[in-house]
Amino acid sequence: MKKIRNFCIIAHIDHGKSTLADRLIEMTNTLTQKEMENQVLDDMDLEKERGITIKSHAIQMKYDMNGDTYTLNLIDTPGHVDFSYEVSRSIAACEGALLVVDASQGIQAQTISNLYMALDHDLEIIPVINKIDMESANPDKVEDQIVDLIGCERSDILRCSARTGFGVEEILRAIVNRIPAPQGDPDAPLQALVFDSVFNSYRGIIGYFRILNGTIKSGDTVKFFATGKEYEADEIGVLQMRQVPKQELSAGNVGYIISGIKTAKEVKVGDTITHVDRPCDKPVEGFENVKPMVFAGVYPVSADDYEELRASLEKLQLNDASLVWEPESSAALGFGFRCGFLGLLHMEIIQERLDREFNMDVITTVPNVSFKAYITDGSVIDVHNPSGLPEVTKIDHIEEPYIIAQIISQNEYVGPIMTLCIEKRGVLRNQVYLTTDRVELTFQMPLSEIVFDFYDKLKSISRGYASFDYHVEGYQRTDLVKLDILLNGDSVDALSTLIFREHAYSFGRRMCEKLKDLIPRQQFDIAIQASIGAKIIARETVRQVRKDVTAKCYGGDISRKRKLLEKQKEGKKRMRQIGNVEVPQSAFLAVLKLD
């Protein structure tokens, strides 16, 4: 155990975590030159295309120092705020963390948030300044920021360039010297934390775990704490680039277990594995359940694919524990699922993964957050979507979730950022100058306001410099109304939203104008209306496609023309009664990009 080091790499998005992981793998000769590629741990096509890490990836490396061989278990983590749950799970399985900061950008919001998460778990922090080979790099200034933030000595901060490999050898030495070896008793009852799982169509569900106490051997009978289900450990081993089977693993190690589990519900991330004949007293603590922030309905395009979509979501949930879902139905879209996501990027990624990995064609409704409706009889209802809102007469008041948002930016963008936050009903809580030209703004604002387009707008007004991080603070009373969209008098429940009363009029007007462009013309007029209760607040009309029925009638009496027009009018009226309006998928997505 003294020769094992478990550590993760944490940083803001785009500060070079995955590139640093590449260099560490290269320096320890874990992969041959032939197997090596850029961002080798990002194994999803989606990650490579977007240049972001979506999943945490674990890999074991061997490093020789002073005649001893050390086992280094590295977990590379995502940097985007939407995937912070992946980071929290990785941190729970480690004793130390490399805190990577870009030498040209300095400390960002996500750096601070990930650092606090690591400090809460008492991890040993090794600060690393990356990208020092760039022309815009200013490592001395970034060093000042790190000293202010962590309170460490200047000599503790390592400088490197992950692209060229400069300084990576010092990082490996620091990992061995500064990160403590794992604590734990190999002879105690088995206690292993499941921090991730994947689905394999041939082998069933593969669980990734970190052993805190005890020893597990291949062929042992084990049970999962949360579900109480018992299994035989058919194969255990360690995670290198491929899975490497081992006969036994003891305390301090990170590995995988294959036990022929077929049903996804039986493996929960954060669960504890223990022996059946000699179980541990209590499960591993300090593992919190994920709280989804954004809810949206996901429906199959064809109703026959409902069961297939359910199976796809179950398999996806194994690989992404922060996805939460439950069945629901909609008048316009039929049967589907109500899914909870950590943010809009997370929602986009899940949609993309359903399409690529499972070939599922889905329609996603307008995302919203969950509200608490206090009823006049004293009960409280959680409202996840507009159709779940009780009648207005029964509601005493509604509360919505509020967040504390931290925004770090250059001081020249403070004005536009404040204007944006105040427009979104934000209240300035604090303003701190980290350095002469970098400022940290703390706002309290409603979560529902940042769900749509806040992140995009923030990036555009700050030319990509502002970084943003948030955590939920609690619920506050608010004045919400349900805004319905009617097509020819029929409500389209997939386009309904719960919205702040003052914003309802402008939102309804913009919705109608957008839908007018997107809904194809029919042979009858289509009235698009936005309504609050029985009150219509906006209207647009999609004009009918007309055929000139009087073309064949030349000359003669006016009554002949009128007769033809009357006949056409009758046909149009009948058509409107039985014709239904097809709403294209682009209309559901357009709501997200109204501006």
Query: Residues 139-172: pLDDT tens digits?
Result: 888 888 888 777 778 888 888 887 888 888 888 8
Checking if the pLDDT of 348 tops 60, the result is: yes
Beta strands 191-200; 158-159: pairing state: unpaired
The lowest-confidence range among 274-288, 408-422, 438-452 is: 274-288
Checking if the pLDDT of 393 tops 60, the result is: yes
> Residue type at 592?
L
How sure is the predictor about 587, in pLDDT bands with cuts at 50, 70 and 90?
A: low
Which stretches of 17-56 are assigned E, i.e. beta strand?
none
Q: Which residue has the higher pLDDT, 300 or 560?
A: 300
How sure is the predictor about 446, in pLDDT bands with cuts at 50, 70 and 90?
A: confident
Phi/psi zone of residue 270: left (φ > 0), alpha (ψ -120 to 50 degrees), beta? left
Query: What is the arithmetic mean of pLDDT over 365-369?
Result: 74
Give the pLDDT confidence score for residue 264 in this predicted structure: 65
Q: Which residue has the higher pLDDT, 595 or 482?
A: 482
| Cβ atoms 244, 194 nearer than 8 A | no
How sure is the predictor about 29, in pLDDT bands with cuts at 50, 70 and 90?
A: confident
Mean pLDDT over the full length of the chain: 78
Over residues 83-132, the pLDDT tens digits come to 777 777 777 778 888 888 888 877 777 777 778 778 877 888 888 888 88
How sure is the predictor about 351, in pLDDT bands with cuts at 50, 70 and 90?
A: confident
Q: Which residue has the higher pLDDT, 209 or 294?
A: 209
CB-CB neighbours of 24 under 10 Å? 24
The lowest-confidence range among 397-401, 487-491, 503-507 is: 487-491
Question: Alpha-carbon distance 100 to 9, whole Å?
Answer: 7
Backbone angles phi, psi at 435, to 5 degrees: -140, -175
Query: What is the arithmetic mean of pLDDT over 235-262?
Result: 81
Query: What is the arithmetic mean of pLDDT over 420-428?
Result: 85
Nearest alpha carbon to residue 41 among 5, 89, 80, 8: 8
pTM of the model: 0.69
Over residues 304-329, the pLDDT tens digits come to 888 888 888 887 877 777 788 888 87
H-run or E-run covering 362: strand 362-364
The b-or-e profile of 210-242 (16+ CB within 10 A means b, else e) is bbbbbbbebebebbbbeeeeebebebbbbbebe
Q: Which residue has the higher pLDDT, 450 or 583?
A: 450
| Cβ atoms 424, 444 nearer than 8 A | no
What secondary structure does DSSP assign to 280-348, as a single string? -SS-----PPP---EEEEEEESSGGGHHHHHHHHHHHHHH-TT-EEEEEEETTTEEEEEEEESSHHHHH
How sure is the predictor about 409, in pLDDT bands with cuts at 50, 70 and 90?
A: confident
What secondary structure does DSSP assign to 70-100, as a single string? EEEEEEE---SGGGHHHHHHHHHT-SEEEEE
Q: Encoding tokens for residue 20?
A: 């640093």
Tokens 């593992």 — which residue?
287
Please name the residue ranges forming H helices in 382-500: 414-423, 447-451, 454-461
| Cβ atoms 100, 128 nearer than 8 A | yes
H-run or E-run covering 243: strand 243-246
**Among positive and negative, which fits the CA dihedral 206, 210, 213, 216?**
positive
Q: What is the CA radius of gyration of the chain?
A: 28
| Cβ atoms 39, 32 nearer than 8 A | no
Give the pLDDT confidence score for residue 580 in this predicted structure: 62
Query: What is the arithmetic mean of pLDDT over 1-23?
Result: 81
Give the pLDDT confidence score for residue 581 in this predicted structure: 63
Give the pLDDT confidence score for residue 34 in this predicted structure: 66
The lowest-confidence range among 154-158, 276-280, 468-472, 478-482 is: 468-472
Over residues 249-292, the pLDDT tens digits come to 888 788 888 887 777 667 777 778 888 888 777 777 655 666 67
Give the pLDDT confidence score for residue 163 in this predicted structure: 82
SS3 134: coil
Question: Alpha-carbon distance 83 to 270, whole Å?
Answer: 16
Over residues 33-75, the pLDDT tens digits come to 666 666 666 666 676 666 677 777 778 888 888 888 888 888 7
